Amino acid sequence: MQKVETHACFGGVQEVWQHRSQALDCDMRFGIYLPSQAREARCPVLYWLSGLTCTEQNFITKAGAQRYAAEHGVIVVAPDTSPRGPQVADAERYDLGQGAGFYLNATHEPWSAHYRMHDYIVEELPRLVEAQFNASDARAISGHSMGGHGALVLALRNPDRYRSVSAFSPIVAPAQVPWGEQAFTAYLGDDRDAWRSWDASELVRSTPAQANRPVLLVDQGEADEFLATQLRPELLEAACRETGYPLRLRRHAGYDHSYYFIASFIGEHIAHHAAALRN
């Protein structure tokens, strides 16, 4: 591991680290905010998954999360959104390839060689964070847009790994919208049955009633330019209604898809996770 950045922030430190990922077979970076409480005791961890085109920098510089993480004593880890490097497959468009990993394990070439973001986020990164920092194994997960999709899917696929989950403007039914259809076709192939295990709305329908089911906290701006075509929160709402899965969907008039929206409500999300992580 190599430390790339360190900045004093709200009594703690905001750092960026680089390491070699075995899951992705490339070098990766992640941001980590360590509150002052982490100097004395192991702290719970919130994993943040960013959206299309983002790196670890977008969230740590724009969301204003450090203030609230310091208040609640929560470590916040913000990884990159995909494998990167000259040897990693890419596409000319912004919504496929590097910067657009979709937090799944690709099964089709050339993507399958590196695009195993599910394994990286769920297994490798927590193992590294808990070994190298004063971090406990109490975990929560959140994200925005493509990262909101990732947070919901990873929490639904791995309910014993995360105590809480939330999302801003998530792609809730990627199998039914252009962004998801394009990515799933490339990464997973044409078999739509294989897509179901990476689609939050479908995973809600397949979760047994007796399983661990943390409430899905979702915030959506009503002035979001992608609302009707790519995000479609009503599809997740319908799936949760059909199955009785707990969903807290909050719609906000006037808010768009930007980090202005995230910064407005990130404090409430961190408080939501902090309460679950303390229990």
- The residues facing 151 across adjacent strands are none
Q: For 151-169, give the secondary structure using H, E and C.
A: HHHHHHHCCCCCCCEEEEC
Spatial CA neighbour of 43 closest among 161, 129, 139, 136: 136
Selected catalytic residue, list 82, 142, 145, 166: 145
Active site residue 145: yes
Among 224, 269, 272, 273, the active-site one is: 224
Beta strand 12-21 with 26-34: parallel, antiparallel or unpaired? Answer: antiparallel
Q: For residue 62, with 0-12 CB atoms within 10 Å meaning exposed, 13-18 middle and 19 or more buried, which class applies?
A: middle
Backbone angles phi, psi at 110, to 5 degrees: -85, 0
Nearest to 69 by CA among 38, 91, 100, 92: 38
Among the listed residues 257, 269, 272, 273, the single catalytic one is: 257
User: Around Cβ 247, how many Cβ atoms within 10 Å?
Assistant: 18
Is 95 marked active-site? Answer: no
The three-class DSSP label of residue 96 is coil
257 labelled catalytic: yes
Joined tokens for residue 256: 């768009």
* Residue 224 CB coordination number (10 Å): 21
Determine if the peptide bond prior to 86 is cis (ω within 30°).
no
Catalytic residue ranges: 145, 224, 257
